[in-house]
Structure 1
C-alpha cells in the first residue's frame, strides 16, 4: 500500500483532501501532519519566513522517515518553500496548486485569482505567472482579495463568508477567461456557484489527481 503524507498549515484543508483521497485514491494510506501556527505566522509576517520554511523541513523530513511515497503540500501560502525543500528532501513533494496553475495558464490569457488573504493570493499569482512563462504564454492576472469574507470567518459567520466569496467569484468570472480559487477551503463553494461564464478551478481535485498520476508513473 502506498503512503502519502499531507502537510497542512491549518485544519480547514484536512477534510476536503480526505474526501478527494477517498474518491480518487481509496487504497492509499493517507497521513496528515497539521500545524496551524504555520499559516498564522505567515499572515503575521506578511510573507513566508525562514522559520516557517525550517518547520516545514522538519515535517517533511518526518514524512520521509515514515516511508512516504510522496509528500503533498496542502497550502498555497507556503508553496514557495517547497521549491527550496525539494533539493533537501529525497521524497518527491507535490504542491496542491501546481497543476491548477498550469491549467489556468493553458485555458486563457486573462486569469482571475480569488483569495481571502493576501499571503495566499500573492504566491498563487506568482506560481501562475511562472507556469505561463514555462509554457511560453503571455497572460494578465486580475486579483481579488475578499477581505470581508475572511473577517466573517474569523467572526464565526461561515454563511456570510460563503456569500461574499460567491459574489466575488461570480463577478470576477464576467471579467476573465478563467477563475482560480487560491485556497483549498474555497473548493466546497464550486457546486453552489451555478453556471458560470468561464471555468472556475480549485486545487483539491487536481492536486490529488496529480498524486494519483505520480503514483501510477512510479509503478
Structure 2
C-alpha cells in the first residue's frame, strides 16, 4: 500500500485516476490534512514535522510501504520523517526537479534557465531550494526565477478550479525566455493542457507517483497492528 499525504482533497481524484491508468491494483491510502499547510504558512514548514508523523502513523501501522507527500510547501520536511515512520517518504516534486535541471540550455546559454510558477508564496522557497539541491547533486548550472500568480490561490481556495487553472496557464504563456517551466504545486498540473508555449512545462503528479509506486512495490507490506 502507498500512503499519500495531501493538504487539499482536490488531489485525491487526481492521484486515483493516475493510479488507475498507470498502476492498476496498487492500493492507495489518502490522508488529507489541510491544517498542515495552514500551520506551515503561519509558523514555517519545520513546525509541522511532528504533525506529519502523527498524520501518517496509522497508515504505516496498517501496512503502508511508502509515503508520498503531494504538498510542495511541506514536502522537504516530510522527507526527513522517513526514519521516524520507518518507511520511505517521498516529496512529489523531487522527480520534477531532477527533470528540470537535466534540460539543456538553449542557444548560446551555458546555464539552464528555469522559471518556477507558483500560486502560493510559501511554496517558492522550498521549490527553489529543491531545484538548487538537484542542480548541485548533478553538477548542472541553473538559474531559477520564480513567479507567484496574483490571485490564483484565492481562486483555488474558493473552489474555482477553472479560474485557478486559467490563471496559471496565462502565467505560463507569459514566460518568453526560459529553457523549462516548472509548475511548483501538484494542483497546477492540468494548466499545462491549456497552454501553447513551445517551452517545456513540467508538473509533479505523474513523475512523483511513479517514484512513490516504485518505492512501495519494492518493499514488503508492513503490519504492526
TM (norm. structure 1) is 0.90
Q: 2:17 is matched with which residue: 16, 19, 26?
A: 19
Structure 1 residues 35-82: Cα deviation after superposition (integer angstroms, max 9, x where no partner)? 11111222233x2142x1111011232222111121111111101212
Deviation of residue 217 (structure 1)? Answer: 4.7
Q: Structure 1 residues 86 and 155 mapped into 2: Cα distance closer, same or farther (>3 Å)?
A: closer
Higher relative contact order (CA 8 A, sep 6+): 2
Cα RMSD (Å) of the superposition?
1.8
Correspondence list, 1:19-168, <5 A: 19-45=17-43, 47-50=44-47, 52-108=48-104, 109-168=112-171
Report the equivalent of 1:211.
Answer: 212
Unaligned runs of 5+ in 2: 105-111, 221-225
Report the equivalent of 2:109.
Answer: none
| Contact 1:179 1:200 survives alignment (8 Å) | yes
TM (norm. structure 2) is 0.88
Unaligned runs of 5+ in 1: none
SS at match of 2:172: helix
SS at match of 2:25: coil
